[in-house]
């Protein structure tokens, strides 16, 4: 298990390239199971969650070949139905995304209940309700979801999501592409990654309308065909580098990032006294003046993303004033709070709300990474902490960030990766 040793006090400057979105890659890899022809994805990030998804796909006989420039060819011609075992699924919650493609392709599926980051209850009821609305029969036995289709396959239906779950929208979308007739998905998630899945499925021959709105309509087709699709870039990776520039009073061009994908994040950063504007190649982020505390509430897209809450909290630890950060998507996503406290942050927690009182400075300490975004918030805080910070268990970081430490070093950070 590697750890990172970071000496704080350097500005983040220059430029950094963001890659394809992990959260776009995972459902699209699963979607390759829907087709008897090849799916070629471009801009696939080299992160361990993608490796985990490919290992899971290997269980079903999908052949994945990485090409140059982050290309990934997926061939599910010889796919077979198999169990998605606990041992693999527990490593990553997004494994649940294989359920709909397996059920569609084979008429039955057996998938372990998922694990993943320990950030709240994270049920999967909406995924199961979506499949139920398309005519699937579902049982849960001994920690496994057992799903089957009746009367020769799924049929179109009306899926109403009580909350705009990203994963459940993707499950409904994948299942609907080959269901007989029309499917309506109401209160659909509007996230750019959902739109990107819709684009990929459309390139494969699916008929989808309304991606990016609350109401999606899918006309089922008989089969999907070969396709090529480049993943959109990772807005959470981009937002993380934006905070790295903001927290260090730096000056960074984030190549490949799109302001419009960041939803409310751009405006929130501006309110902290950080300038952010689009360039020909991405986004420019500069902070030269003081850092102001502001309040934030996480919400479904286009609201402030829960996946940037921890990073933003790190930023607020050294802002002037106090910031109230309320988490409405994953109520207990605060594992970073005690660790930021070890670096000298002044944060008090009350239920799903954190009060961050800005301090003059943070100081280096030994801390532990606990989940993907919590880990990266510790890296960001360490960039400005006086002295040396050691972050243990950085494998969480590698799940979703391609070469984070190397990229930050190229922008001026002092970071060493030490193998334990």
Catalytic sites, residue numbers: 117
Q: Which stretch binds ligand UD1 (CB under 6 A): 105-113, 122-130, 308-316, 402-410?
A: 122-130
User: In this complex, which beta carbon is closest to ligand UD1, that of residue 266 or of residue 300?
Assistant: 300
Q: Is 180 in the site for ligand UD1 (CB under 6 A)?
A: no
User: In this complex, which beta carbon is closest to ligand UD1, that of residue 91 or of residue 127?
Assistant: 127
How many residues sit in the footprint of ligand UD1 (CB under 6 A)?
Answer: 23
User: In this complex, which beta carbon is closest to ligand UD1, that of residue 250 or of residue 400?
Assistant: 400
- The answer, yes or no, to whether the previous bond of 207 is cis (omega within 30 of 0) is no
3-state helix, strand, coil in the chain (%, to 5): 35, 30, 40
Which residues, in sequence order, are bridge partners of residue 160? 186
Between the alpha carbon of residue 140 and those of residues 94, 253, 350, the distances in Å are 18, 48, 35
User: In this complex, which beta carbon is closest to ligand UD1, that of residue 248 or of residue 306?
Assistant: 306
Q: Which residue is nearest to ligand UD1 (CB)?
A: 167
In DSSP notation, 298-363 reads: B-STTSB-GGGHHHHHHHHTTSBSEEEEE-SSSTT--THHHHHHHTT-EEEEETTEEEEE--S--B
User: In this complex, which beta carbon is closest to ligand UD1, that of residue 308 or of residue 415?
Assistant: 308
User: In this complex, which beta carbon is closest to ligand UD1, that of residue 53 or of residue 285?
Assistant: 53
Q: How far is the CB of 402 from ligand UD1 (least distance, A)?
A: 16
In DSSP notation, 140-172 reads: EETTEEEEEESTTS-B--EEE-SS--HHHHHHH
Contact pick of 187, 274, 306, 317 for ligand UD1 (by CB under 6 A):
306
Main-chain phi, psi angles of 96, to 5 degrees: -60, -20
- Token pair of 357, please? 């009182």
Q: In sequence order, what are the residues at sequence separation of 6 or more whose Cβ sits closer than 8 angstroms to the Cβ of residue 278? A: 258, 259, 284
Q: How far is the CB of 165 from ligand UD1 (least distance, A)?
A: 3
Separation between Cα atoms, residue 382 and residue 404, nearest integer Å: 14
Q: Is 187 in the site for ligand UD1 (CB under 6 A)?
A: no
Q: In sequence order, what are the residues at sequence separation of 6 or more whose Cβ sits closer than 8 angstroms to the Cβ of residue 111? A: 83, 84, 89, 95, 96, 98, 99, 102, 144, 145, 147
Contact pick of 238, 329, 374, 415 for ligand UD1 (by CB under 6 A):
329
Q: Is 232 in the site for ligand UD1 (CB under 6 A)?
A: no
Is residue 2 classed as helix, strand or coil in its secondary structure? strand
Q: How far is the CB of 24 from ligand UD1 (least distance, A)?
A: 8
Q: Is 124 in the site for ligand UD1 (CB under 6 A)?
A: yes
Contact pick of 31, 44, 94, 415 for ligand UD1 (by CB under 6 A):
94
Q: How far is the CB of 71 from ligand UD1 (least distance, A)?
A: 21
Q: How far is the CB of 21 from ligand UD1 (least distance, A)?
A: 9
Contact pick of 23, 370, 375, 389 for ligand UD1 (by CB under 6 A):
23
For 22, the enclosing helix (H) or strand (E) is helix 22-31
* Residue that has been written with the tokens 């990016």 in this structure: 212
Contact pick of 307, 339, 402, 405 for ligand UD1 (by CB under 6 A):
307
In DSSP notation, 101-116 reads: HHHHHHSEEEEEPP--
User: In this complex, which beta carbon is closest to ligand UD1, that of residue 303 or of residue 341?
Assistant: 303
Q: Is 93 in the site for ligand UD1 (CB under 6 A)?
A: yes
Q: Is 188 in the site for ligand UD1 (CB under 6 A)?
A: no
Q: Is 95 in the site for ligand UD1 (CB under 6 A)?
A: no
Write the interaction track for ligand UD1 spanning residues 368-407; mark x where CB under 6 A is met and - where it is not: ----------------------------------------
Q: How far is the CB of 147 from ligand UD1 (least distance, A)?
A: 14
Contact pick of 78, 125, 139, 270 for ligand UD1 (by CB under 6 A):
125
Burial 11-27 (b: 16+ CB within 10 A, else e): bbbebbbbbbbbbbbbb
Residues that bind ligand UD1 (CB under 6 A): 23, 26, 93-94, 121-127, 163, 165-168, 189, 193, 305-307, 329-330
């Amino acid at each position: 298990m590697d750890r990172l040793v970071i000496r704080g006090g350097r500005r983040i400057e220059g430029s950094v390239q963001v890659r394809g979105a992990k959260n776009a890659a995972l459902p699209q890899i699963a979607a390759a199971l829907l087709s008897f022809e090849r799916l070629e994805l471009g801009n696939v990030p080299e992160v361990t969650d993608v490796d985990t998804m490919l290992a899971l796909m290997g269980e079903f006989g999908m052949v994945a070949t990485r090409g140059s420039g982050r290309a990934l060819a997926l061939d599910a011609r010889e796919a077979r139905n198999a169990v998605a075992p606990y041992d693999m699924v527990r490593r990553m919650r997004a494994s649940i995304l294989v359920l709909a493609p397996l059920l569609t392709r084979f008429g039955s599926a057996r998938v372990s209940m998922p694990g993943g980051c320990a950030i709240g209850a994270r049920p999967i009821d909406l995924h199961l309700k979506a499949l139920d609305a398309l005519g699937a029969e579902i049982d849960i036995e001994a920690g496994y979801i057992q799903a089957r289709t009746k009367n020769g396959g799924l049929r179109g239906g009306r899926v109403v999501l009580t909350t705009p779950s990203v994963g459940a929208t993707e499950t409904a979308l994948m299942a609907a592409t080959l269901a007989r007739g029309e499917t309506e998905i109401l209160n659909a998630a509007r996230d750019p990654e959902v739109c990107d899945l819709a684009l990929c499925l459309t390139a494969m021959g699916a008929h989808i309308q309304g991606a990016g709105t609350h109401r999606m309509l899918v006309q089922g087709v008989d089969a999907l065909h070969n396709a090529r699709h480049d993943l959109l870039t990772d807005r959470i990776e981009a937002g993380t580098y934006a905070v790295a520039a903001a927290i260090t009073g730096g000056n960074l061009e984030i190549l490949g990032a799109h302001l419009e994908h960041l939803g409310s994040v751009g405006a929130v950063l501006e309110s902290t006294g950080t300038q952010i504007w689009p360039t020909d190649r991405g986004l420019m982020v500069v902070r030269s003046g003081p850092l102001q505390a502001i309040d934030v509430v996480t919400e479904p897209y286009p609201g402030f993303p829960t996946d940037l809450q921890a990073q933003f909290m790190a930023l607020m630890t050294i802002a002037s004033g106090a910031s109230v950060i309320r988490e409405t998507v994953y109520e207990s996503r605060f594992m970073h709070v005690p660790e930021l406290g070890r670096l000298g942050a002044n944060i008090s927690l009350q239920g799903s709300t954190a009060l961050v009182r800005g301090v003059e400075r943070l100081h280096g300490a030994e801390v532990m990474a606990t989940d993907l975004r919590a880990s990266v918030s510790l890296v960001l805080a360490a960039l400005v902490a006086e002295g040396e910070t050691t972050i243990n268990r950085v494998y969480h970081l590698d799940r979703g960030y391609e070469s984070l430490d190397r990229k930050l070093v190229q922008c001026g950070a002092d970071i060493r990766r030490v193998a334990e």
